[in-house]
């Protein structure tokens, strides 16, 4: 019986959409391993500590509190540095210690389930990955050399442009993009209309 109905509806099948389990049937069992407590053994939610040669990486396998696409880009930037031989990953023991520590912290914070290992907070995770290859912004140095930019980064929203200020593939336009972000967010919320006869566009701010 459905809510609001006065009669019983006959159905053939009831599907309980309660979620799904993580499975990796296309990989050998010892590459990405999972434990009974739900722990997924991936270093930084990306690297398998069981591989002799780090030629396989999992991208975007996170459940972030925040936007996912910047996280995926940050992961790819780190992967590019590793695959090009410019950066080496830590030993298996160090990886496993980090995996266990992350899992234990998440278990204390969330209800235990098979996804608890890959839950991440946006800013700490971005900082963590960026620090692996020198892209984490140096706020202390910024405070001294560029107070205006420091104020925007420290007190404003955490924009992905911040991670293009330094490190590999830094972007010259990152500073301008950060400082102009508020104005660019404001523009779409303004009312725009075009005078047909003169083709002049007018913007009315609310």
Residue 22 φ then ψ, to 5°: -75, 125
pLDDT of residue 197: 54
pLDDT of residue 202: 54
For residue 79, give every residue at least 6 positions away whose Cβ sits within 8 Å of its Cβ, in sequence order, or none. Answer: 46, 57, 59
The secondary structure element, H or E, covering residue 128 is helix 122-131
SS3 string of 152-183?
HHHHCCCCHHHHHCCCCCCCCCHHHHHHCHHH
pLDDT of residue 77: 97
- The rounded average pLDDT for each run of 10 residues, N- to C-terminus, in the chain (206 residues) is 75 79 76 81 94 90 92 96 95 95 90 81 96 96 97 94 95 95 78 56 52
The secondary structure element, H or E, covering residue 104 is helix 92-109
- How far is 41 from 98, CA to CA, in rounded Å? 10
pLDDT of residue 199: 56
């Amino acid at each position: 019986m459905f809510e609001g109905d006065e009669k019983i509806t006959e159905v053939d099948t009831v599907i309980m959409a309660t979620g799904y389990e993580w499975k990796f049937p296309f990989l050998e069992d010892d590459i990405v391993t999972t434990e009974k407590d739900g722990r997924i053994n991936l270093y930084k939610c990306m690297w398998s500590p069981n591989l002799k040669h780090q030629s396989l990486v999992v991208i975007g396998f996170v459940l972030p509190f925040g936007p996912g696409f910047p996280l995926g880009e940050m992961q790819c930037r780190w992967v590019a540095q590793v695959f090009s031989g410019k950066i080496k990953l830590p030993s298996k023991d160090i990886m496993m210690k980090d995996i266990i520590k992350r899992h234990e912290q998440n278990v204390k914070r969330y209800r235990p389930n098979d996804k608890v290992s890959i839950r991440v907070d946006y800013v700490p995770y971005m900082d963590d990955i960026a620090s692996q290859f020198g892209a984490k912004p140096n706020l202390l140095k910024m405070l001294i050399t560029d107070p205006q930019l420091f104020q925007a980064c420290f007190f404003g929203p955490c924009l992905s442009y911040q991670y293009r200020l330094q490190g590999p593939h830094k972007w010259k336009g990152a500073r301008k993009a950060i400082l102009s972000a508020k104005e660019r967010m404001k523009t779409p919320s303004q009312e725009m209309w075009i005078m047909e006869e003169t083709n002049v566009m007018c913007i009315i701010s609310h």
